[in-house]
Amino acid sequence: MKTVVGIDNGTQSTKVIFYDYENMKIVAEASAPHDLISLSADGKDDGTREQEASWWLAALKSCFAEIPDDIRKTARAVGVSGQQHGFVPVDKDGNVLHRVKLWCDTATARECEEITSDFGGDEKLLKEVGNLVLPGYTAGKILWFKNNCPDEYAKMEKILLPHDYLNFYLTGEYTMEPGDASGTALLNIKEGRWEAGLLEILDPDRDLSGCLPKLIKPGETAGKVSSKAASELGLPEGIPVSSGGGDNMMGAIGTGTVKDGFLTMSLGTSGTIYGYSDTPVIDPAGNLAAFFSSTGGWLPLLCTMNCTVASELMRELFDRDLKELNSLAEKSPIGSAGIITLPFFNGERTPNLPNGKGCLVGMTGSNVKEENILRSAMESAILGMKLGLDSFRALGFQPKEVRLIGGGAKSPLWRQIAADVLDLPVQVPVIEEAAAFGGALQALWTLEKIGGNDEDITRIIDTHVKLEESKSCMPNKESVDQYDDLYRTYNTYVAALTGLFQ
């Protein structure tokens, strides 16, 4: 048996799969949870969302310890997916200098405003670089680190993202690839190079380009599994580690979103909707992030910081399990009898409301019922991402169908809500762990390239990515019309309350 290994470093956990690529099946998998630091050093909730990088390594080792030794020895290559935008500063010896500020950290809003102003504003950023500098992206975190931790900042030798850090642990090599690197907000999307003007704004006294690892192409190797990592994880020493990528880029591979017209939507802690393009897609409104893919193209993407957050909070409030959440929400009509959730519990990235708050609006004396509140929380996850679909269509992208992943994809009700709100067919991949699977398939692509087969990754995707036909959903015309009305009302509330969040 021969396997490729997919590793996914997510916000909530690390997942590992061993994929038998000859028989096209996962033969072993494991996961381990991560904690989350959500308060600043003085105990205030200022938008801080951090993790210790050491927790990731402990979780990774725990996962591999669960895999039988004989299966670990079958590994031929490894691919790593990581939560995007996290800032991992390391010193000359590779030691991490500070807790990792995550994608959902909004404590750097002031730094983002400063960078944007010094560069010349949003319009200039979009025109010249392709992306805004938003809270959540890495650029603001670097300036925050410089301003708040000057002694540690002075020791910083490399700027890494979460998947880069795991690649470094595996190989001892420092690398980045364009997909995840584009989420730093420092990479010029039009020209594929670091934007010198932004680096100078971050530090006019130091050339930060030396702290950024070399950019390697998708399909290239980040290095080989070192003797130390091999000993600690039980992997064969010297097997290749692919370039890897951000979790959205790897999710695109794991769902087959590597061709024009296909969209992937992830219903997790955050919500994302993204589609593959052969050419750069830069949204003049700034709703879609202009990212590279990890397969050699582009991956325009909308991200919301709150997706299943609302449903989880409401489920906990009413002390309901997931089965009860779905059964109760099914009793509520489309539109939740008028109750609308604005799910900005962690602040928000799109729309850009880092100080946003969660709200329940539209309540009356007759509709305040548990089932309406629960369904409204579920509906809000999709309503928040419809903005991304509208942006895709406005830019001429012709969506054919949506591939749904994440915890929400397991819910038949949520799948139908997605089909009706987006007015598109919804498909669910057979393999649920899309990011880890994407890492494994990218590793297979790299392995084949090393073997002299320099073909496009799409053949690998067509062969290995399968869809669960029993979970597919088609939009219902009557429901589509009802959700169109609800979406307009939702946007009216967002517009009316935006001033309170700024």
What is the set of active-site residues? 247
In whole angstroms, give the CA distance from residue 17 to residue 11. Answer: 17
Give phi and psi for 342, each to the nearest 5: -100, 105
- The stretches of 367-433 forming alpha helices (DSSP H) are 370-394, 412-422
∠ Cα 86 91 93 (to 5°): 120
Q: Identify whether the C-beta of residue 30 lies closer than 8 Å to the C-beta of residue 457.
A: no
Task: Report the SS3 class of residue 81.
Answer: strand
Q: Identify whether the C-beta of residue 99 lies closer than 8 Å to the C-beta of residue 51.
A: yes
Task: Report the SS3 class of residue 77.
Answer: strand
To the nearest 10 degrees (0 to 180), the angle between helices 308-317 and 370-394 is 180
In whole angstroms, give the CA distance from residue 383 to residue 253. Answer: 25
- Six-digit token string for 106: 């909004």
In whole angstroms, give the CA distance from residue 493 to residue 270. Answer: 21
To the nearest 10 degrees (0 to 180), the angle between helices 162-171 and 53-66 is 60
Please classify residue 61 by burial: count the beta carbons closer than 10 Å to its beta carbon, then call 0-12 exposed, 13-18 middle and 19+ buried. middle
* Residues 452, 455, 459, 465, CA torsion sign: positive
| Residue type (1 letter), 59 | A
In whole angstroms, give the CA distance from residue 144 to residue 403. Answer: 36
